[in-house]
Amino acid sequence: MSRLAPPRPARSAAGPRRVLLAGSAGNFTEWYEFGVYGAFATVIADRFFTPAQAAGQGGAGPLVAAYASFAVSFFFRPAGAVLFGRIGDRAGRRAALVLVIALMTLATTLIGLLPDRDAIGVAAPWLLTLLRVLQGLCLGGEFGGAVALMTESAPPGRRGRHGAWQSFTVALGLLAGAAVAALLATLLTPAALHAWGWRIPFLLALPLGLAAYRLRANLPDDPPRPRPAPPPGPPLTPPPADGGRGRKASGTARAVGLGVARLMGWSAAGYTFLVVLPSYLQATLGASFRQALTATALANLGFAAAILPAGILSDRVGRRPVMLAGALGVTLLALPLLHLLQDPAAAAPAKAAAVLAAGATVGLLAGPGPAMLAEMFPARVRCTGLGLAYALTGAVFSGCAGLVVTALTAATGDHDVPAYYAAGTCALSALALAGLRGDDHRRPLR
């Protein structure tokens, strides 16, 4: 066999389509729940968080508290990336992904059953936050295992396409969450929605999670990964006292830091436009619940529509030009987009086109992003490394998006805060993305 065409990883014997389905199903379930939480943030704030818990913050206090609970779960994602990433790198991708989806399904279902503050008082927000912490741990482990599995099973020249399915199912999950919320808002009265209707989307995660669990449990076990044979002859230099572990750890840490820099724009802009938008439109611009959900659904639709084409294009022209186009696009368009949404005289079709374009621009980052990360780490630490980079980015720039945007807007009265946040992070990401090698998409995974 030619050295230019190394053998594909043995785990691809399960079949690329089967691997994609198993990995995507879990992603869809987990991000569906995050979409639901974002759509119902105002309802959850009313049911679980009281103004007394955020004294002095005015009417935005309960919403800030709800987003603080949202942010706390994100700060546990790095711990989940390390915990489940080590399982994935040592015991196999399948073992980690099966455990993650089981725990995530349990936590989401329990949120749907959780008594609110009227029933159990101050224990309600603490229990909700505890379940969000468990979800944060699981989501931290999900990304690394799923992306490693999908990219390692990809046929030659298709890593971008296969990795894009991870982002695509994230978009579908967020879109499904917003769609279910919009449907319930249409079918139920506001009183019924606030009293019990908000629980339905969380309980729907149970059958979704069980289906994803079955798909993953039926994947074959990862075969053992042989260590590379040492070169013949005596070593030219004596080996390090620690066997080279310190040098390898330092290289992994640098790759994680660079991964965070490359992902921060995708993370911040994605959550600003796709998750935080409904609450921002309601609390700041006075939009109705249905109008806010419609705008969010359109943004997620544009996001989903751009992901797979962006991943496929990155397999042809490289990750760098596609992701740079997305980062620079958000940097230049975020403020004009927000001004259009704030303009009461702007036509509804123009506003719809604007939020579609915003979502599509973020999709240019999300499509090639998973493959770009997988190409940064060797197989022995791929689950842990790329999962940790993604989790750290999410903890700082995604989990805090709602909290930062809501609190700063309330404190300053500046309605342009979301645009500054998205544009600033994407500008910094563009600098980091400019250092990508142009031929990474053609090189074999290490």
Highest mean pLDDT among 52-61, 143-152, 291-300 belongs to: 143-152
CATH number of this structure's domain 12-223+252-442? 1.20.1250.20
The angle that helices 41-48 and 123-152 make with each other, rounded to 10 degrees, is: 150
CA distance 270 to 358: 9
| Alpha-carbon gap, residue 435 to 291, rounded angstroms | 41
**pLDDT per position as a tens digit, 261-270:** 999 999 888 8
List pLDDT tens digits, range 378-431.
888 888 888 899 888 887 887 677 777 777 877 887 888 888 888 999 999 999
Mean residue pLDDT across the chain: 80
Q: pLDDT value at position 364?
A: 94
Mean pLDDT value across residues 306-314: 93
Burial of 126 (0-12, 13-18, 19+ CB in 10 A): exposed
In total, the chain counts a number of residues equal to 446
pLDDT in tens, 29-70: 877 877 787 777 778 777 887 644 443 444 555 566 666 666
Report pLDDT for 208: 87
Per-residue pLDDT tens digits for 97-113: 899 999 988 988 998 89
CB 168 within 8 A of CB 308: yes
Other C-beta atoms within 10 Å of 130: how many?
A: 16
Condensed to tens digits (0 to 9), the pLDDT of residues 373-391 reads 988 888 888 888 888 998 8
pLDDT at 224: 46
Over residues 172-183, the mean pLDDT reads: 82
In the chain, where the domains are located: 12-223+252-442
Higher pLDDT among residues 143 and 225, named by residue: 143
Tell me the mean pLDDT in the region 231-251.
57
- By three-state DSSP, how is residue 325 classified? helix
Residue 229 CB partners (closer than 8 Å, separation 6+): none
User: How many percent of the chain have pLDDT more than 70?
Assistant: 83
Beta carbons within 8 Å of 227's beta carbon, 6+ residues apart: none
Q: Check residue 136 and give its pLDDT.
A: 82
Q: pLDDT category, 13, cuts 50, 70, 90?
A: very low
Nearest CA among 290, 310, 292 for reference residue 302: 310
Listed residue (278, 242, 349, 367) closest to 41, CA to CA: 278
